[in-house]
Chain A
């Protein structure tokens, strides 16, 4: 039993990292007032770019992850151009980008023949001598480097968003773009910056799935994790640390699924696979039942800023 528990909890960070990074990326861009539904698509872009790079170069997982970040950032320029420059409805634009990315990654993955090819992953970082501590060593000191990097990224993003001038400007643009504009802050520039930098994190989340965690590319392999990340952002009230705890919760849920079957417990597998989605809906109901909706939402979330329309 304790083996089962340790095995499960030790794998939770690996399944939690994509949720955590994607939710953090969404928080950065939504703090600037852009309702961002693109995570599912950009994670696929990151996953395909990472897998493709790794297969082409024959390894180099770090390079693959960097390429994953950059490609998601580049694709997000399409979304940024639509919602910031052309002021397209942010729901329509987000959905269009997701379905565009789903289609494009499926096409490229098949035509380039990257499907189901083994990828060299990232070895775990064994932090000796801490790794020798019973139980705790396996849980905290034998994870892959990206798990530790994720915590570092959370500290950095939290610092930038809440302790620096650029973070203040991004939040101001999201809270009240007209006032920020009047104060001489470029709404368009800060929103594009927030979208692209957030999307790099989402791309890293996708790249992590294909290069580090699953070590394969399969069409549509993110399987709705991007949508779960969108729900996590609402759950976390647009704050980084609660998003990390939420991600860990979902990491635990996802990590337990394959282990229940491996432990020999007979449950219908397809019903088990529903649990992350049902858990997400349950969390959303819980947030709604607490009757605090709207409190922490960025003031201008979902509204394009049109200076010419002010009255």
Chain B
């Protein structure tokens, strides 16, 4: 380690911190989050929601009745966050979470429409099909990356558009609901829906919680998780000592796609009970945000996912009652990422002012 050299910008000098007490890191993080949220509140105020009204809406989201909706919304968000975080752990930028969700939803709906399996196990079949659908859509990119060194950021993003158009193709074509003639699939049968299992908790949340536990075991305790840490810390060394880089990458990417596919299934089977045109809208960046804020830790993903669900439900409320477009949620998410990412500058650098 070389000694840090100071640099002067006029009256400001900058030098590298070796490390920073964790409470100070938390303080910087909290401070930047507060600034980000303050900017968001300001934008909302300009858009016509006074802060006091916003506070009462937010309080409304957290009461018992809306809490149920929030928990239903949290399940797909947590799953998408898991999908993003495990892929990001090995530096695979899976930004195709929306496309994988769509394919998860399509595969699940296919099981419902073609009535595959007896009614008693139909839901399980749908979930498995959704996981396979998400996996399929991301493994295409993993193959292209490994075989042709195709940049996965662009490829996954572009495949979102392809998946979206494929969904339109189905919903305006063979899968169009004959009863309503709307571009949506016909409604799932009662035994094909994720229902409440008591205390207002939806069974989709159970899937998400199991996903969190499995992912936590996978990245922290399993052999593959150890390989993942090795690969992200030092790929050259990992290769030399014989870590199966390619097999681990494929496994991790497939797991990431499966999570996103399951998110698609949970979303369609617990909320609308049918495929709609826009059921996956806004989930890519939510996944990135959740992974980023949780530092790719599956256990933290559960907490952050719940908080983003609060944001989603608030956004829906504002959309219904104040005609604020739902893209507001995306703005707030981006501001939070920008604020938190910027705060890392203060964690890594020390600034002195010379008087």
Contact = CB atoms under 8 A, between A and B. Distances in A.
A264 interface: no
Given A86-B342, A97-B334, A107-B47, A274 B328 contact: no
Contact of A102 (B6, B95, B327, B332): B327
Interface string B142-156: 001001111101110
Interface residues of A, number: 51
**A interface, over-half SS:** helix
Nearest to A289: B148
A42 to B, nearest CB: 14
Contacts of B341: 82, 86, 88-89, 92-93, 96
Interface stretch (B123-131, B162-170, B240-248): B162-170
A277 B161 contact: yes
Contacts of B169: 268, 270-271
Name which of A82, A93, A268, A274 has the most chain B CB atoms within 10 A of its CB.
A274
B150 A281 contact: yes
B interface majority secondary structure: helix
B151 A99 contact: no
A78 interface: yes
10 contacts: A91-B93, A92-B341, A95-B288, A100-B338, A107-B43, A107-B331, A234-B154, A270-B173, A274-B165, A308-B6
Given A106-B330, A309-B16, 9 more contacts: A85-B345, A93-B341, A99-B330, A103-B330, A234-B151, A277-B161, A278-B162, A288-B150, A308-B349
Nearest to A294: B149
A100 B335 contact: yes
Contacts of B262: none
Instruction: Give the residue among A78, A95, A234, A288 with the most B Cβ atoms within 10 A.
Output: A95
Closest 9 A/B residue pairs (Cβ): A288-B148, A100-B334, A103-B330, A106-B327, A103-B331, A270-B169, A86-B345, A103-B327, A311-B2
Contact of A231 (B4, B5, B154): B154
A224 interface: yes
B173 A107 contact: no
Interface size, B (range) = 35 or more
Interface in A78-126: 78, 82, 85-89, 91-93, 95-97, 99-100, 102-104, 106-107, 110-111
Given A91-B153, A284-B155, A96 B338 contact: yes
Interface of A: 37, 78, 82, 85-89, 91-93, 95-97, 99-100, 102-104, 106-107, 110-111, 219, 223-224, 227-228, 230-231, 234, 268, 270-271, 273-274, 277-278, 280-281, 284-285, 288-289, 293, 306-311
